[in-house]
Amino acid sequence: MESDPACKCAAAAELWRDWQTGALAVEAAAAPPVAVPVPGRPTRPRLVAPRELPRRGLGTQEGRAALVHAVAHIEFNAVNLALDAVYRFRELPDDFAGDWLRIAAEEARHFGMVRERLQDLGCDYGDYPAHNGLWEMACKTDRDPLLRMALVPRVLEARGLDVTPGMIERLSAAGDLETVAVLEVILREEVGHVAAGSRWYAELCRARGLEPEATFRELVREHAPGHVQGPLHAEARLAAGFSAAELDGLESLRLRRD
């Protein structure tokens, strides 16, 4: 619930260090988790519907700053999402908490890198509007870790694997190699974050006797059909734990929507 971005990121890093040294542990007898409709976040950016976000080209510094701000907002939300998984699903093995505490610390580092680049461009986090889609999905999946792993890492965050290479290409063409360097780090490490979601999704399916590929297709059709857009970055998704059959299913779903 920490609202200051810098303090939240520092706390996420501290949590991960404490977990590694054994100073932090899951308390099975702790009070049960409660709903978090609004997590800790600053009063800005102003949250709007996705369709209200202005589209800007990358040929200007303002356009590049707007893109970098959108990435910063995703990374900030990713810190909250990872921490919420640890808080909410404490009945899972300790390795689950360890994975998502590590990811929270890495997302916090990503946010710091992107924010620094945003400041280089003469702006700061909060200067542009943003949308609340990531946290809305967190609220929709707060009752079930299988649903959370399927729809947040494997749908919303995996979308970043698809779009980031194109962003890197366009920014390279615009000569913004500093932002490219930041995005290359994020893309490389986000493969591991989505892979953690894939691993825990598969483990939860096994525990419940569910066939993971068919279950994933059904969950996407039911809860997130509009989030499947192309083109899919097959190489990154395969490295992140998707099967070729899953990619074919997502591609078919996308084509039916189109």
Tell me: the pLDDT tens digits for 129-182? 999 999 999 999 999 999 999 999 999 999 999 999 999 999 999 999 999 999
pLDDT at 257: 59
The helix (H) or strand (E) run that includes residue 102 is: helix 94-120
Its domain, for residue 95, covers 5-43+51-257
Distance between CA atoms of 43 and 11, rounded to whole angstroms? 19
| Number of domains within the chain | 1
Burial of 156 (0-12, 13-18, 19+ CB in 10 A): buried
Per-residue pLDDT reduced to its tens digit, 26-47: 887 889 999 999 999 999 999 9
CATH of the domain at 97: 1.20.1260
**Could you tell me the pTM of the whole model?**
0.95
- Does the bond joining 165 to the residue before it have cis omega, within 30 degrees of 0? no
At 230 the three-state DSSP class reads coil
In a 3-state reduction of DSSP, which class is residue 130? Answer: strand
CA distance 140 to 222: 12
Sign (positive/negative) of CA torsion 14, 16, 19, 25?
positive
pLDDT of residue 229: 81
Q: What gap in Å lies between CA 255 and CA 60, rounded to an integer?
A: 34
Helix, strand, or coil (residue 245): helix
State the Cα–Cα distance between residues 170 and 166, nearest whole angstrom. 6
